[in-house]
Structure 1
C-alpha cells in the first residue's frame, strides 16, 4: 500500500516589459505522483483561453509506478494564485489495477483557484481494469472571477474484460455555493450502470466542464455538440457542461476536442505553433 501527496501552487508575476506571467513557487512530488513543469509545445484552444489575462504555467503529472493499485491512498493539492493561469495535464492514461488483498484504492484531488485566476485541468483517460476497486474524489473551489476548464474521460474495462469497481465524484463550489456536484459509479458495485439510464452499454464516457464568468465564446451553430448520446447543458453563472458517451476512446477524444474549441474560443481551426515567448 502506498500513501503519497503531491502539491502544486502558482502565483502571478511580471516580465520586465510588464507582461503578466505565472510562476510555480511550489512543486512537490510524492512518489508515485510526479509533477514536472513543461514547455509549451503548440498553440491550442486551451492555451489561448488560459493565457487570456496572463501567460500560463504548464505542469504535467506523471505516474512513477503502475496503478493506482488496491490499497493505495494518493492526494493531489493544487492552488492557483490570484490572477495566475495554469494548464495542468497528465503524461499518460491511468490504469486502475486490483491489489493483492482486494483493497480499495483512492485518489483525492483538492483544488483552489484564486480570484481572477484560470485553471485548465486536463487529466488523461482513466481505465477501470477488471478487479479494481477505486474511488476518485475531486473538490474544486473557485473564488470571484476564477475560470475553469475540466475534462474527464473514462474507459470501462480493458479490451475484452468487464469494468472493475469505480466511483468518481466531482464537486465545484463558487462564492455563491455549489455549482456542480456529480457522481458516477461503474462496475459490480453499481447495478444498472451499463443500462439505458447511465451509459447504455457504451465503453467510454466523457465530460467537459467550463466555468468562465467573462464573455462566452460565440460557438455559432452547435454542430460540435450534435451527435448521438451527447448533451450540452447550461449551469448557473454562465457555466456549461458537455456530457458524451462514445463506443471507443478515439471517438470520445474527438468529440471533446471539437467541443472544447467551440466552447473556449468559438472555432474549430487547426492551431500552429505559438510564437516564441508567448
Structure 2
C-alpha cells in the first residue's frame, strides 16, 4: 500500500495478508529506489513466525536496490518468533556509491506479556549489504533449540527478549555517532565501521522497551516523522 504523504518522499507499507509466516511459506519482495528518489518501506504490523510442522520451513527473501543519489529507509516493525517456528530469512541490499540507507531490523523472542518462552525454535536470519558489488555489511543470526536458555547466557544476551540491528549509510554518519551513543543505555552500542557506515545493536527485555529506545533514534536518523504504523 502507498499512503498519501505531505512531502515528495514515497512511503510503501508491506502487508502480509496471511498474518504471519509458517512452515512451507515462501515470501519474496523486491524494491528499488530509483536515482534521485527517496523511499521509505515499513510493515502494517509486526510480522509473526508461527509454529511450523516437522520438516517444514518458512522462507522470506527481501531484495532492495538503491540507485545513485537515492535514499532508502527500510523500517519494518518487529518480527515476533513463536514456539516451534522455523524461519529462514534473508535481506540483501545493493547500494550505489552515492546512495543512502537507513535500515532497522528487530527480533522479538516470544511475547513477554503472555509469558511466552522459546524453548524450541529455529532461526536463520541474514543481512547482506553491498556497495557497487563489494561487501559493506554482512551479518547472520542463527538460533536453534532452546533459544531462551541460549539468550539467558551473559555473553549472549543476558536474558534479553528482543534485539535490534540498525545500519546507517550516509556521508554524515561520523557526526551522528556521539549524539547516538548519548541516547543508548547499558545494553546497546554503536560503532562507526567506515567513514560513512554506522552500526547499532541494542538489547531489551521486551519489544515495548526496545521500541521506546528506537523511536527517537529512528526519527532523528530518518530526518522525518516515522510512518504511521510505527505510531499505532
Normalised by the length of structure 1, the TM-score is 0.72
CA distance in 2 between counterparts of 1:156 and 1:148 reads 26
Helix, strand or coil at the partner of 2:217: helix
Deviation at 1:97, TM superposition (A): 0.7
CA distance in 2 between counterparts of 1:84 and 1:230 reads 32
Residue 50 of structure 2 is aligned to residue 130 of structure 1: no
- 8 Å contact 2:181–2:190 — kept in the other structure? no
Structure label with greater radius of gyration: 1
Aligned residue pair count: 221
Helix, strand or coil at the partner of 2:218: helix
Unaligned runs of 5+ in 2: 226-232
Deviation at 1:186, TM superposition (A): 2.8
Deviation at 1:115, TM superposition (A): 0.9
Partner of 2:38: 85
Question: C-alpha deviations, 1:144-167, integer Å up to 9, x for none?
Answer: 211000111111023323222222
Question: C-alpha deviations, 1:7-53, integer Å up to 9, x for none?
Answer: xxxxxxxxxxxxxxxxxxxxxxxxxxxxx111227xxxxxxxxx7xx
Partner of 1:213: 171
Question: C-alpha deviations, 1:109-146, integer Å up to 9, x for none?
Answer: 11111111100010011010001100111110101211
Matches within 5 A, 1:196-207: 196-207=154-165
Aligned match for 1:153, one of 102, 106, 114: 106
Deviation at 1:207, TM superposition (A): 1.7
Residue 196 of structure 2 is aligned to residue 238 of structure 1: yes
Normalised by the length of structure 2, the TM-score is 0.85
CA distance in 1 between counterparts of 2:197 and 2:44 reads 28
Unaligned runs of 5+ in 1: 1-35, 42-50, 272-278
Aligned-pair RMSD on alpha carbons? 2.6
CA distance in 2 between counterparts of 1:166 and 1:140 reads 20
Structure having the larger proportion of residues in helix: 2
Helix, strand or coil at the partner of 2:104: strand
- 8 Å contact 1:179–1:235 — kept in the other structure? no
